[in-house]
């Protein structure tokens, strides 16, 4: 009688990091490694119009998108269902990478991976890797408890954006040391090299995470968290999506972004989206973190399911309506007592004072 063999445990790595820290960039680097061939990717995004899954350079059947909430809250059940489907595939994926939204507390995500009946016997957890922005990371952890939590639980921390002006590897490592981060710190190149040699097999989770998971208290400081509002994650951090419904002139877009980031960039932790430019058939990818804007990139084609401008803006401490009014003013949408593009260009203060929400950190 043939002995029954136990099914192979599928290695799972959870990838975390605050808004704009560089998670998708690192993910694309890892997916190019031969050692990670056959990896399934689960991507969670916060906001009305998910984009990250379109920017991951992998086959469509290997990418699963979970949107309309963050994994630590409204879509945790979807994560468990997705993992159950993946382990039931024939053949199953060689590995699983889970990229959380930049606003997620990783602990409930890890609980879903490790403590769900049936999954704990099929998955081999390889730890939490958190991406840390070497340029704006200090600001992120000073202003947002989510960023601090992501680092506190990390088994591995990957320094991103070391090639950008203003990046300082020594200063970034010092910041991490000051926060008490216990995870092993790598450059992106060193981390990719490590996984290139052994895949996820070379990574292990720390005992600290096991202790945290065994406590059974996973409210993750979200008592004031509006769990079911896709555009809100805390008292001060809000999200809006700008959809003008028509192609924009490049000058309109540039003027809007320049004024928003130069005058209020400290309150804009993230901008990401695709913009339809008048006279162009291909979309323009826009990304910014605080006052720093990446060079706009023209993509080869519009992703399936997206054909018009959808620009997602996260604001911290200012009302989303202020950003929307500013955008509408530059793009010529009529509004009562709202200055037009010329008035805003001549006098950026014509929109009035910026309404701040009360501090709630």
- Out of 3.40.190.10, 3.40.50.720, 1.20.1260.10, 3.40.50.300, the CATH code matching 10-215 is 3.40.50.300
What gap in Å lies between CA 56 and CA 97, rounded to an integer? 12
Q: What is the pLDDT of residue 224?
A: 46
Average pLDDT over residues 317-331: 91
Are 14 and 30 in contact by the 8 Å Cβ rule? The answer is no
Confidence band, pLDDT 50/70/90 cuts, at residue 360: very low
Are 224 and 234 in contact by the 8 Å Cβ rule? The answer is yes
* Lowest pLDDT segment from 16-20, 119-123, 332-336: 332-336
- Give me the count of residues in the chain: 361
Helices (H) and strands (E) in the chain, counts: 12, 13
- pTM score, whole prediction: 0.83
* Lowest pLDDT segment from 11-25, 50-64, 204-218: 50-64
Model pLDDT for residues 129-168, shown as the tens digit of each residue:
999 999 999 999 999 999 999 999 999 999 999 999 999 9
Model pLDDT for residues 44-76, shown as the tens digit of each residue:
866 555 555 455 555 444 567 665 555 444 556
Are 187 and 159 in contact by the 8 Å Cβ rule? The answer is yes
What gap in Å lies between CA 115 and CA 256, rounded to an integer? 47
Q: What is the CATH number of domain 237-351?
A: 3.30.1220.10
101 or 188: which carries more pLDDT confidence? 188
What gap in Å lies between CA 220 and CA 238, rounded to an integer? 19
pLDDT at position 81 over 60: yes
Dihedral pair phi/psi, residue 274, rounded to 5° = -110, 135
197: DSSP letter: H
Q: Is the dihedral of CA 329, 332, 335, 340 positive or negative?
A: positive
50 or 240: which carries more pLDDT confidence? 240
Are 124 and 9 in contact by the 8 Å Cβ rule? The answer is yes
Report the run of H or E that residue 123 belongs to, with start and end: strand 123-133
Confidence band, pLDDT 50/70/90 cuts, at residue 222: very low
Q: What is the pLDDT of residue 188?
A: 96
> For residue 199, how many C-alpha atoms fall within 13 Å in the half-sphere facing its CB?
15
- Residues 215, 216, 222, 225: what is their CA dihedral angle, to the nearest 10 degrees? 170
* Lowest pLDDT segment from 3-7, 141-145, 235-239: 3-7
What gap in Å lies between CA 360 and CA 4, rounded to an integer? 56
What's the chain's Rg over C-alpha atoms?
21
pLDDT at position 226 over 50: no
Q: What is the pLDDT of residue 82?
A: 86
Q: Is the peptide bond before 91 cis (omega within 30 degrees of 0)?
A: yes
What gap in Å lies between CA 343 and CA 262, rounded to an integer? 17
pLDDT at position 238 over 80: yes
What are the DSSP calls for 42-101, one per residue?
Answer: EEE--SSS--HHHHS-S-GGGEEEE-SS-TTTTTHHHHHHHHHHHHTSSSPPSEEEEE--
What gap in Å lies between CA 165 and CA 146, rounded to an integer? 26
Confidence band, pLDDT 50/70/90 cuts, at residue 334: low
Please state the domain extents for the chain: 10-215, 237-351
208 or 348: which carries more pLDDT confidence? 208
């Amino acid at each position: 009688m043939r002995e029954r063999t136990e099914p192979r445990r599928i290695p799972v790595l959870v990838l975390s990091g605050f808004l704009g820290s560089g998670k998708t960039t690192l993910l694309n680097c890892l997916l190019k490694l031969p050692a990670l061939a056959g990896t399934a990717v689960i991507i969670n995004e916060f906001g009305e119009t998910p984009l990250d899954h379109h920017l991951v350079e992998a086959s469509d059947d290997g990418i699963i998108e979970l949107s309309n909430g963050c994994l630590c809250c409204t879509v945790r059940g979807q994560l468990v269902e997705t993992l159950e489907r993946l382990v039931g595939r024939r053949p199953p994926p060689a590995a699983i990478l889970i990229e959380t939204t930049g606003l997620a507390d990783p602990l409930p995500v890890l609980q879903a991976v490790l403590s769900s009946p049936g999954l704990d016997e099929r998955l081999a957890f390889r730890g939490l890797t958190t991406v840390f922005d070497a340029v704006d990371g200090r600001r992120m952890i000073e202003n947002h408890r989510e960023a601090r939590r992501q680092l506190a639980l990390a088994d591995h921390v990957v320094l991103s954006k070391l090639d950008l002006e203003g990046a300082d590897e020594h200063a970034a490592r010092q910041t991490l040391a000051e926060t008490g981060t216990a995870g092993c710190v790598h450059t992106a190149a060193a981390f990719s090299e490590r996984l290139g040699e052994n895949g996820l097999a070379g990574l292990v989770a720390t005992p600290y995470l096991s202790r945290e998971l065994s406590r059974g208290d996973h409210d993750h400081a979200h008592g004031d968290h509006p769990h079911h509002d896709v555009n809100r994650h805390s008292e001060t951090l809000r999200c809006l999506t700008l959809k003008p419904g028509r192609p924009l002139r490049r000058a309109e877009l540039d003027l809007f972004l320049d004024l928003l980031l130069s005058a209020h960039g400290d309150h804009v932790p993230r901008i990401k989206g695709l913009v339809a430019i008048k006279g162009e058939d291909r979309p323009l990818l826009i990304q910014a973190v605080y006052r720093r804007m990446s060079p706009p990139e023209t993509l080869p084609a519009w992703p399936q399911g997206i054909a018009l401008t959808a620009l997602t803006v996260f604001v911290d401490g200012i009302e989303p309506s202020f950003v929307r009014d500013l955008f509408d003013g530059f793009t010529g949408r009529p509004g009562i007592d709202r200055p037009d593009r010329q008035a805003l260009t001549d006098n950026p203060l014509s929109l009035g004072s910026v309404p701040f929400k009360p501090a709630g950190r």
